[in-house]
Chain A
Amino acid sequence: MMRLRIIKMTKPKVGFYGITGCAGCLLSAIFNEDDILPLTKIVDIVAFPFIKEKKDESGFDIVFMEGLVASKEDLRVLKEIREKTKVLVSLGACACTGGVPAFRNFIQHDDYQRLVFHKRMKLEDLEPSPIDKHVKVEYYLPGCPPDKNEILTFIKDLALGKKPKRYDKPVCFECRLNKNKCFLDKGELCLGPVTVGNCNSVCVNGGLVCWGCRGPTPDANFETLISLLHEKGIDIVNIRDRMKAFVGLKLPEEEKKNEQDYKT
């Protein structure tokens, strides 16, 4: 159980919203089973359409925004909320990087254009993009899904007036502490070295290689990892595709340029 402190200041007004997405990040917040009720003692959840009918949208101290911008309606909601919000938090991979749906930016345009079945959709659709392409974002809680404890710690920190710290270490750091066998040694396509951790290397613990859902570390050395994986016999196209699966739009600029070369 979360320890409660008496805070003199008024409770921060918090909103949880989702635009186009899968609701998994919002669920991660709710799935803090022991802490969701105590949480309402330190923050005032004024809007959460997924589980709440009433909403007070007059102004927010903090808003957690799940999902990516994929339609004009998404953009309208996002801009409207941004204007009323002091601290906007990108919640999860889609909001932070565009996530899996943004992979569409890298596949042949014709391929998905054929999936559009009527005019209205064509008018409504926007290129899938993370929310910071459109509005200013104060904090990022990455991951697909974000770690539920990370969400909780983040809210507690903000409610107590502490500035949440950004985590910069790669997934490999925690993975080693967890004593997992290294996938790279086995020649498997693992993106741990270039991906931001603080996920407790949950995928590798569970037997899966890191797909890079939390985005690149500030000092990620993609070229070294690509050549290492290539030496182990993995096709470069596959390596680059995997790197784009979750965070393609947020790979460093040069990576994107390489991508152009490789396409032509």
Chain B
Amino acid sequence: MSRIIKLNHITKIEGHASLNLSIKDGKVKVCELQATEGSRYFEGLLKGNDYYEASELSSRICGICSCAHTVTSIQAMENALGIKPSKQTVLLRELLTIGERIRSHATHLYFLALPDYVGYESALAMADKYKKEILRALRIIKLGNSIVKVVGGRDLHPVSLTVGGFLKIPLEEQLAGLKKELSLVKDDAAQTGRLFAKLKYPNFINKTESSSLAQNSEFATLYGDIKSESRAFMQKQYKKYFKEYHEEYATSNFVVKEGKSYRVGALARLNNNHKLLSSNAKKIISSSRISFPNYNPFINNFAQAVEVVHFVDRAVQIINSLNLKKEPIKKARLRPCHGVAAIEVPRGTLFHEYELDENGIITYANIITPTAQNLRNIQDDIRAFLPQIMNLPEKKLILEIEKLIRAYDPCFSCSTHFLKVNFV
């Protein structure tokens, strides 16, 4: 018996993607997940621009992760130019990315993932019966937006950050306002953790490596080595272990680590760093039936919910430790140079790498997004998952596959725009 399944225009994901599956005699012959977005060639666009323009331009790669691209781009430039940002700058950048993380996770959890688990087509359709949950989601999203707006100066595509520091820092009273909002959302975060702990996730294990940043003393966000079950290495060595490649059927690029698929994102971070979570986040885990490390890809949803709890706590901690003062922006001494930076963003580890000439003009840019890293793993998971759902009626089978794809919270806008030079 053979089956061919084509899922065109998968909904409730960021961007446009489709899946081609062909099953023959109970075996998966073809499993091709492809982005159907047009290409934007961002790495080409960045070339020729001044070093300080890259953060504004690369922010446009993704609306959901605009803060992530901004901060990664700036840190890569600083690494290239030998600028060490102040402690205050680092904390504010972390706070900004936390705001983005919180709202991105809340959007994914409640608007894209939850409807599948409670039997609705969308969060809007759920609004009558699950009003409490949807309003909770909107409060969490609003908190994330407030943080991004206060620190970054705008809800999306932040404006206040630059290489060497902040163009404008928040006011004391704005931070006090955030603190109040955080205390109000604390319970919403915990409720989110409990809700996603008790969802009925499919029973499926596929043990692939988890890759994320890691630090000894804290749950890594902006700094740290690249760590997985097998090894740890420095950020600037990334090309030695990660290889990008292309498939003829897809406009996105794929990444493998030492020849194998691997995962990035909330689940990978928790697998590597769960011991460093806040005590409230640990409580959510210990009162659930789920433990880490965990190799069920559907548990990424729960991992995101745990992160919401952790990052609400971490945001309060950052605000408490800030003693804001106006600081000059550190100046760059231009020279031919090269820099790499990686940070943790909602969907995993994001890499930016640049080469600059003696005038600070970008001569080379390379960007690797989390979804490009997860794509191969998603495909491998689908292949491994199919045998156990093969006998389901087509509609149910498709829903299960979609749930698996959505669990990764893929962002196809990001993944498609980094098509690499293929020198033949």
Contact = CB atoms under 8 A, between A and B. Distances in A.
Contacts of B123: 51
B41 A126 contact: no
A216 interface: no
A258 to B, nearest CB: 19
A118 B122 CA distance: 37
A23 B64 contact: yes
Chain A: number of interface residues, binned into ranges: 35 or more
Given A23-B14, A202-B153, A118 B246 contact: yes
Nearest to A23: B63
Contacts of B422: 117-118
A31 B41 CA distance: 28
B293 interface: no
Contacts of B419: 115-117, 121
B37 interface: yes
B134 to A, nearest CB: 7
Given A31-B141, A34-B138, A53-B12, A104 B124 contact: no
A38 B415 CA distance: 34
Interface string B83-119: 0000000000000000000010001000110010000
B294 to A, nearest CB: 27
A196 interface: no
B40 A70 contact: yes
B44 A112 contact: yes
B156 A27 contact: yes
Interface stretch (A4-12, A133-141, A206-214, A219-227): A206-214
A145 B139 contact: no
B134 A37 contact: yes
A34 B143 CA distance: 12
Nearest to B251: A121
B122 A22 contact: no
A107 B115 CA distance: 44
Interface stretch (A81-89, A95-103, A155-163): A95-103
Contacts of A28: 63, 155-156
B361 to A, nearest CB: 11
Contacts of A148: 155
A145 B156 contact: yes
Interface string A6-22: 00000000000011111
Interface in B12-67: 12, 14-16, 36-45, 47-50, 53, 56-57, 60-64, 66
Given A23-B14, A23-B413, A73-B38, A51 B154 contact: no
B275 interface: no
A114 B421 CA distance: 6
Interface stretch (B160-168, B265-273, B279-287, B301-309): B160-168
B90 to A, nearest CB: 18
B157 interface: yes
Interface in B225-274: 246, 248-249, 251
B167 A206 contact: yes
B41 A104 contact: yes
Contacts of B134: 37
A144 B60 contact: yes
Most chain-B Cβ atoms within 10 A of its Cβ — which of A117, A124, A126, A144? A117
Contacts of A26: 63
Given A124-B38, A207-B168, A22 B127 contact: no
A229 to B, nearest CB: 15
A206 B160 CA distance: 5
Contacts of A19: 38
B81 interface: no
A69 to B, nearest CB: 8
A40 B134 CA distance: 14
A202 B154 contact: yes
A52 B12 CA distance: 6
Most chain-B Cβ atoms within 10 A of its Cβ — which of A22, A23, A48, A114? A22
A104 B66 contact: no
Interface in A241-256: 241, 245
Nearest to B13: A50
B121 A54 contact: yes
Contacts of A128: 38, 40
A51 B122 contact: yes
A117 B167 contact: no
Nearest to A94: B60
A53 B38 contact: no
B138 A36 contact: yes
B348 interface: no
B11 A24 contact: no
Given A49-B11, A52-B121, A115 B43 contact: yes
A257 interface: no
B420 interface: yes
A71 interface: yes
Nearest to A120: B248
A125 B64 contact: no
B246 to A, nearest CB: 5
A110 to B, nearest CB: 10
Contacts of B57: 100, 245
Given A22-B62, A23-B64, A104-B41, A115 B153 contact: no
Interface in B122-153: 122-125, 127, 134-135, 138-139, 141-142, 145, 152-153
23 contacts: A18-B15, A20-B39, A21-B413, A23-B411, A24-B157, A28-B63, A28-B155, A30-B141, A40-B127, A51-B124, A52-B124, A70-B38, A101-B41, A101-B45, A112-B44, A115-B41, A115-B43, A117-B246, A117-B421, A124-B38, A144-B60, A202-B154, A205-B168
Given A21-B413, A23-B63, A101-B41, 7 more contacts: A22-B66, A49-B9, A53-B11, A74-B38, A100-B57, A117-B246, A206-B154
Closest 5 CB pairs of A and B: A24-B63, A206-B153, A207-B167, A70-B38, A207-B168
